Amino acid sequence: MSRSLLVINPNTTEAVTVLLREHLMRAAGPDIKVHAVTARFGAPYIADEASYAVGGHATLDAWTTGTAVAPDAVLIGCFGDPGLFALRECTSVPVTGLAEASFVEASRHGRFAIVTGGAKWEAMLRRLALATGFAQALAGIVTVAPTGAQLAADPQGARDLLTQACQEAAVRFEAQAVIVGGAALAGYAALMQADVGVPLIDSVAAGARWALRATHPLRASGSDRTAPPPR
């Protein structure tokens, strides 16, 4: 039986929503019907504390107005998961975000590092790792100066910059895995994997795998069952 996933993009950039939906549909396959909605207000791309706070409000707004179809699970399509805990209070279906889904997956390899765009994300991601119980598993964070939106505008330059950052994160923090975090960076991890000596976790792909577990729990593999249950 087909199940449904609601993806909420807390940014106002429709192109990011389209990218998310395409990658999630491809990764999840035909068993999940993906509904994606874009925030009605807020920042084009969340990159600081103020836009993050507004993004949490926009996530809740999208939940109440985004779709007439009752989903089986909800994925917040932003690496940073604005509104995660508030949304869990508003719904009984499983809810996570790109960051938490990535934390779960990366921690299976051991201590992990994060590479993402935008310097102000470091403090916000450390706070989220603490709140979600992954502070001890987080080895370190490398941020590159361009935001995710700026990286997406220059794919080859982004790939070169992110590859260097992933190599640095793996060596400097002795990480067993590196998360490539950001909705706009979907697909980059696979392109860079051959150049980095540890597993790279694509945050959007991790979100898709979480959705499969959350909506089809009986199909989870043995390794999936060791992860914290979808919430």
Q: What is the mean pLDDT of the chain?
A: 90
Three-class DSSP labels, the chain: CCEEEEEEECCCCHHHHHHHHHHHHHHHHHHEEEEEEECCCCCCCCCCHHHHHHHHHHHHHHHHHCCCCCCCEEEECCCCCCCHHHHHHHCCCCEEEHHHHHHHHHHCCCCEEEEEECCCHHHHHHHHHHHCCCCCCEEEEEEECCCHHHHHCCHHHHHHHHHHHHHHHHHHCCCCEEEEECHHHCCHHHHHHHHCCCCEEEHHHHHHHHHHHHHCHHHCCHHHHCCCCCC
User: What distance in Å separates the CA atoms of residue 53 and residue 128, rounded to the nearest whole number?
Assistant: 13
User: What distance in Å separates the CA atoms of residue 65 and residue 67, rounded to the nearest whole number?
Assistant: 6
Same fold, 3-97+205-222 and 100-203: yes
> What does pTM read for this prediction?
0.91
Query: Tens of pLDDT along 12-69?
Result: 999 999 999 999 999 888 888 999 999 999 999 999 999 999 999 999 999 998 767 7
pLDDT for 217 equals 62
User: What distance in Å separates the CA atoms of residue 72 and residue 92, rounded to the nearest whole number?
Assistant: 9
| CATH code of domain 3-97+205-222 | 3.40.50.12500
Q: Is the pLDDT of residue 138 over 90?
A: yes
What value does the mean pLDDT take over residues 111-124? 95
Query: Tens of pLDDT along 58-69?
Result: 999 999 987 677
pLDDT for 224 equals 40
Query: Tens of pLDDT along 189-217?
Result: 999 999 999 999 999 999 999 998 998 76
Q: For residue 28, what are the CA distances in angstroms to 180, 203, 207, 216?
A: 19, 14, 9, 11
- Of the given ranges (8-12, 134-138, 219-223), which has the lowest mean pLDDT? 219-223
Q: How confident is the model at residue 155 (pLDDT cuts 50, 70, 90)?
A: confident
Residue 180's closest CA among 55, 171, 172, 169? 169
* Domain ranges, ordered by start, for the chain: 3-97+205-222, 100-203
Q: Is the pLDDT of residue 122 over 50?
A: yes
Q: Fold for domain 100-203?
A: Rossmann fold (3.40.50)
